[in-house]
């Protein structure tokens, strides 16, 4: 696909154009439906560079609750406030730069749609007949228009309902912007300084229906704006591009997945009724590794360096944070795995294979991977809620270890409870669980390590006794096929990243192969189970240097003709895993859209 990609990139350079300002609010449809649910966020590419509060942005992140973040922001950002419905002035000023068309608790899952359309010179985001959560009679009909010049339009239809609770309308440079409250209906025309000006409406006080506010930047950096009421013509109706979907894997990588003697070391605590409450407070347990065999012994205690050298990673309730790297340590050996990045759940465990969600209920079958869950390290898996209190720290600046610490985390719906615990992973594969004060009033807890992947249940171990009477256990040998996935969706105007994981030991070069066609051909009899799933049209090469993962970002240009094109990709690695010296991944099909 090399020729096609080159042609499209050339077309992207020639595709920019300028059009007059216009509104799509009255059109049906008003743009591409972003398919936002309740309290949801989706990032889209603008197709131009938009200046705001001293920075330039090529993407915006649209939240269903009536505002737009400048740049790439996920719902889990800012400690879980990336999709916040609780409008308040403090967060509006102190979090990231954003524009609030009408920040309230809007719910597209209950009806209507949030749409997007861009033409290379302006972008329009519309809330059309979107009801307020729990009140379908109150509906948002409003539009935000952003232009490449930095001009902003806040447009409200005649059928824009009056929010029954508080709401916020305005712009904020975020990151500690100064307070700048105003009354839009009486202050305009006016100058809005520092990229920040907003009105907080009390219940039934909204008075902007059937009006349009224009904010014109006064400098190229758009640090200040002139504001005035304006009017807009209606854009010519057109067909809108399809929304980019999730990439679809097909086929299977090689070598064939296998596991021998999978096992675990764990303890299940059941505090309800006092049957077996957690007793790990102020203890430290070390799991010393020798190949796939782990031996328990007394650990060195809680490492408080996380308070100085660790990074506080935003978390809330039911969150799995991915791609926490091992840092200068490179990789962490766990049994036969070489882990270069971890997933961390707010609920007190680490995912080592990227296939475990944030699970609040600790179940032995899930710990063992009976339903396909992978390797897991769980210092104190239970139901926590970091949106209420506490913090999570990731430490990876020391070449000898990386470390996850849950600091002062409360149990879900257990106000006043607080647990502090950590898992420390060393370059030689040793693991240390260390505890401050830990508790649980009624939620079960599991602590331990597991190879997952349908491991055999060895029965629970009393971990407090395992410190003085060593437990020795082989967790098994796990062989995983090369796996190919992608980060994000293949949307025009954005960067889409191909990933490959489970690189076998000794891998030297990695490849991503791209094509416009599928294939299904065995590579060679000397590479059993390895199949070519794509045509050999274009390749990207990565030098691996002993890593178990590699990736390749792809900038998808703002070319309307690219929408609807399906690309097929596959990863391959040169490694001494078979006589042929090559392993291949599954295929991945992805169709480009908005």
Q: Tens of pLDDT along 46-100?
A: 888 999 999 999 889 999 999 999 998 988 888 778 999 999 999 999 999 999 9
State the pLDDT confidence band at 20, using cuts at 50, 70 and 90. Answer: low
Q: Judge contact between 234 and 22, C-beta under 8 A.
A: yes
pLDDT of residue 46: 87
Q: Which residue has the tokens 């308070």?
A: 307
Cα separation, 520 vs 566, in Å, equals 17
Per-residue pLDDT at 406 exceeds 80: yes
Express as a percent the part of the chain with pLDDT over 70.
Answer: 96
* Selection from 236-245, 256-265, 461-470 with the highest mean pLDDT: 461-470
Question: Which burial class, exposed, middle or buried, applies to 305 when counting CB atoms under 10 A from its CB (0-12, 13-18, 19+)?
Answer: middle
Distance of CA 384 to the CA centre of its chain: 19
Cα separation, 402 vs 410, in Å, equals 24
pLDDT of residue 241: 82
Measuring CA to CA, which residue among 460, 392, 400, 443 is closest to residue 421? Answer: 392
Which long-range contacts (C-beta less than 8 Å, at least 24 apart) are formed by 304-308?
305/395, 306/393, 306/395, 306/403, 306/405, 306/407, 306/422, 307/393, 307/407
Task: Give a three-class secondary structure readout of 114-167.
Answer: EEEEECCCEEEEEEEEEEECCEEEEEEEEEEEEECCCCEEEEECCCCCCCCCCE
Report cis status (omega within 30 of 0) of the bond before 123: no
pLDDT tens sequence across 485-494? 998 889 887 8
- Tell me the pLDDT of the chain averaged across its residues: 90
- Considering the domain delimited by 248-256+480-591, tell me its CATH architecture: Sandwich (2.60)
The pair phi, psi for residue 13, each rounded to 5°, is -65, -35
pLDDT of residue 441: 83
> In the predicted model, what is the mean pLDDT of residues 232-255?
90
State the pLDDT confidence band at 18, using cuts at 50, 70 and 90. Answer: very low
Which long-range contacts (C-beta less than 8 Å, at least 24 apart) are formed by 158-161?
158/209, 158/210, 159/209, 160/102, 160/206, 160/208, 160/209, 160/210, 161/132, 161/137, 161/209
Is 463 in a helix, a strand, or coil? helix
Among the residue ranges 34-43, 245-254, 435-444, 560-569, the one predicted with the least confidence is: 560-569
Residue 403 in tokens: 């470390």
Question: Which burial class, exposed, middle or buried, applies to 376 when counting CB atoms under 10 A from its CB (0-12, 13-18, 19+)?
Answer: buried
- Of 497 and 492, more confident: 497
Eight-class DSSP state of 12: H
> In the predicted model, what is the mean pLDDT of residues 7-31?
61
Measure Cα distances from 561 to 44, 430, 532, 565 in Å: 17, 53, 28, 8
> In the predicted model, what is the mean pLDDT of residues 186-193?
94
Measuring CA to CA, which residue among 13, 11, 130, 15 is closest to residue 66? Answer: 130
Measuring CA to CA, which residue among 449, 419, 445, 457 is closest to residue 431? Answer: 449
Q: Residue 195: CB partners within 8 Å, gap ≥ 6?
A: 52, 53, 54, 97, 171, 172, 173, 177, 222, 223, 224, 225
Measuring CA to CA, which residue among 144, 198, 141 is closest to residue 173? Answer: 198
Per-residue pLDDT at 346 exceeds 90: yes
Q: Residue 44: CB partners within 8 Å, gap ≥ 6?
A: 34, 59, 60, 61, 62, 116, 118, 123, 491, 493, 494, 594
pLDDT of residue 19: 42
pLDDT of residue 210: 96
Strands 55-63 and 67-70, bridge-based pairing = antiparallel
Measuring CA to CA, which residue among 70, 68, 107, 103 is closest to residue 88? Answer: 103
pTM: 0.63
pLDDT of residue 15: 34
Residue 498 in tokens: 């191909």
Cα separation, 146 vs 47, in Å, equals 11
Measure Cα distances from 135 to 38, 107, 115 in Å: 13, 9, 21
């Amino acid at each position: 696909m090399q020729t096609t990609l080159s042609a499209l990139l050339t077309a992207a350079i020639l595709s920019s154009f300028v059009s007059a300002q216009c509104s799509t609010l009255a059109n049906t449809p008003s743009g591409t439906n972003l398919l936002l649910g309740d309290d949801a966020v989706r990032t889209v590419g603008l197709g131009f560079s938009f200046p705001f509060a001293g920075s330039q942005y090529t993407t915006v992140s649209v939240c269903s609750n009536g505002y737009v973040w400048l740049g790439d922001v996920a719902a889990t950002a800012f400690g879980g406030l990336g999709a916040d419905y609780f409008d308040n002035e403090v967060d509006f000023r102190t979090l990231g730069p954003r524009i609030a068309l009408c920040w309230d608790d809007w719910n597209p899952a209950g009806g209507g749609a949030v749409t997007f359309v861009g033409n290379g010179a302006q972008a329009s985001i519309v809330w059309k007949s979107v009801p307020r959560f729990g009140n379908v009679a109150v509906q948002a009909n409003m539009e935000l228009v952003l232009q490449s010049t930095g001009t902003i339009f806040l447009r409200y239809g005649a059928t824009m309902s009056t929010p029954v609770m508080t709401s916020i309308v305005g712009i904020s440079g975020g990151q500690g912007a100064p307070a700048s409250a105003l009354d839009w209906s009486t202050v305009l025309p006016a100058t809005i300084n520092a990229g920040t000006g907003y009105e907080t409406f009390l219940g039934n006080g909204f008075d902007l229906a059937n009006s349009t506010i224009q904010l014109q930047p006064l400098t190229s950096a758009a640090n200040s704006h002139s504001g005035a009421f304006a009017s807009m013509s209606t854009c010519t109706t057109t067909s809108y591009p399809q929304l980019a979907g999730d990439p679809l894997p097909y086929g299977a990588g090689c070598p064939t997945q296998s596991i021998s003697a999978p096992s675990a070391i764990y303890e299940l605590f059941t505090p309800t009724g006092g049957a077996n409450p957690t007793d790990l407070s102020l203890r430290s347990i070390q799991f010393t590794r020798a190949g796939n065999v782990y031996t328990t012994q007394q650990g060195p205690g809680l490492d408080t360096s996380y308070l100085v050298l660790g990074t506080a990673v935003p978390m809330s309730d039911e969150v799995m944070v991915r791609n926490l790297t091992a840092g200068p340590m490179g990789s962490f050996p766990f049994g036969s795995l070489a882990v270069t990045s971890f997933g961390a759940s707010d609920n007190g465990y680490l995912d080592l294979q990227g296939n475990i969600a944030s699970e609040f209920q600790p179940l032995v079958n899930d710990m063992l991977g009976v339903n396909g869950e992978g390797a897991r390290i769980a210092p104190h898996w239970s139901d926590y809620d970091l949106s209420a209190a506490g913090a999570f720290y990731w430490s990876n600046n020391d070449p000898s270890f990386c470390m996850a610490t849950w600091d002062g985390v409360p149990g879900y719906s257990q106000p006043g409870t607080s647990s502090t615990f950590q898992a420390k992973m060393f370059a030689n594969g040793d693991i240390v669980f260390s505890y401050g004060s830990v508790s649980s009033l009624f939620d079960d807890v599991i602590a331990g390590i597991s190879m997952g992947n349908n491991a055999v249940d060895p029965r629970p171990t009393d971990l407090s006794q395992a410190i003085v009477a060593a437990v020795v256990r082989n967790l098994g040998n796990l062989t995983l096929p090369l796996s190919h996935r992608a980060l994000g969706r293949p949307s025009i105007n954005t960067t889409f990243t191909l990933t490959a994981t489970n690189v076998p030991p000794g891998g030297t070069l990695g490849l991503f192969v791209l094509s416009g066609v599928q294939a299904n051909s065995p590579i060679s009899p000397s590479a059993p189970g390895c199949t070519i799933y794509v045509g050999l049209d274009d390749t990207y090469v990565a030098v691996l240097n002993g890593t178990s993962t590699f990736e390749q970002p792809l900038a998808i240009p703002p070319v309307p003709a690219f929408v609807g094109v399906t690309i097929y990709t596959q990863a391959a690695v040169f490694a001494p895993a078979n006589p042929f010296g090559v392993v291949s991944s599954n295929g991945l099909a992805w169709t480009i859209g908005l």
